Amino acid sequence: MNAWPAWRSAPARVAPGLFPPEVVVQVKALACELPATLGVPLSRLSTADIVRQAQRQGIVATVSDKTVWRWLHEDAIRPWQHRTWIFPRDPDFAQKAGRILDLYARSWDGQPLTGDDFVLSADEKTSIQARFRRHPSTPPRARQPMRLEHEYTRGGAWAYLAALDVHRATLFGRCEPTTGIAPFDRLVTQVMTQSPYREARRVFWIVDNGSSHRGAACVQRLQTAFPNLVPIHGPIHASWLNQIEIYFSIVQRKVLTPNDFRSLAEVEERLLAFQDYYQRIATPFEWRFTKDDLAALLRKLDTTALAAAA
């Protein structure tokens, strides 16, 4: 005999510590609400906040934080976390992003790239400071991590400009006092005057819409200097499509954190030394995000935007 229907219709007979499924569902739904819709002066909810709200709304008389955490863990619901997001606002987002994804897949205008076509991803990492610690850092020891003096003086900053050949894992970079058209053009010249780019049929440069390389003026300037250079501008607010940003995140973790330098020159020395070290051990990034994935993402975002506007 199946006792489940009787149990479901008689929640009062549930053993202590067990909760009917409808209670679990309501608590999960509560966790998926923004605090403002609940009328509480919070920016995000903890398990304790959810317990208080569930009790206030009469969903449950008593429940532990650990139980609520376990329920949320089942569906990977973490209302105490957040991430920033920018909805695509470029009307040509799909077309511009699609061109970049095609290049990563070694295709252009529906045709495969040839052996003398190259794809570079470039950008600037701004304001890399040299922080001089007031006392020397100490190395890690048994049961003690590396110690870093909290107080420091500022010793100036670099802008690190870099370009990554996405299919060869080859890097080019330079440190400049500031960003701007002239520093970026120096990076371009540094790359385009070397083999195989100097003799290449086409060299595609994927860049964002920063002031150093924005718009039609950038295209004309670069192609006048190097006729085989093809600038490719990504959509607005789409740095996640630019593979050089992956490398910059590696630089941030492996080179600049913690920030402890004795001079501004040492910052430059370490950045350029790491660049050489990295490309000796690196392989091209395994880029798996395709145009089909892009189409699915944009459909999902359209649905989310419509729901938010309703």
- What would the DSSP string read from start to end of 122-172? EEEEEEEEEEEESS--B--BTTB--B--S-EEEEEEEEEEEEEETTTTEEE
The C-alpha atoms of residue 218 and residue 224 are separated, in whole angstroms, by: 10
The answer, as to whether pTM is greater than 0.85, is no
The C-alpha atoms of residue 275 and residue 165 are separated, in whole angstroms, by: 13
Picking from 306, 292, 278, the residue whose alpha carbon sits closest to that of residue 165 is: 278
Q: In Å, how far are 92, 183, 187, 192, 194 from 176, measured between CA atoms?
A: 33, 7, 10, 18, 20
Structure tokens at 25: 């569902």
Picking from 195, 200, 125, 198, the residue whose alpha carbon sits closest to that of residue 162 is: 125
The C-alpha atoms of residue 59 and residue 29 are separated, in whole angstroms, by: 11
pLDDT digit of tens for each residue in the chain (310 aa)?
Answer: 444 444 444 444 344 458 999 999 999 999 999 999 999 999 999 999 999 999 999 999 999 999 999 999 999 999 999 988 778 888 899 999 999 999 999 999 999 999 999 999 999 999 999 998 888 888 999 999 999 889 888 899 999 999 999 999 999 999 999 999 999 999 999 999 999 999 999 999 999 999 999 999 999 999 999 999 999 999 998 989 999 999 999 999 999 999 999 999 999 999 999 999 999 999 999 999 999 999 999 888 887 665 555 5
Residues with Cβ within 8 Å of 282's Cβ and at least 6 positions away in sequence, in order, are 169
* Long-range contacts formed by 16-23: CB under 8 A, 24+ apart: 19/60, 19/63, 19/67, 23/59, 23/60
Phi, psi at 295, each rounded to 5°: -60, -40
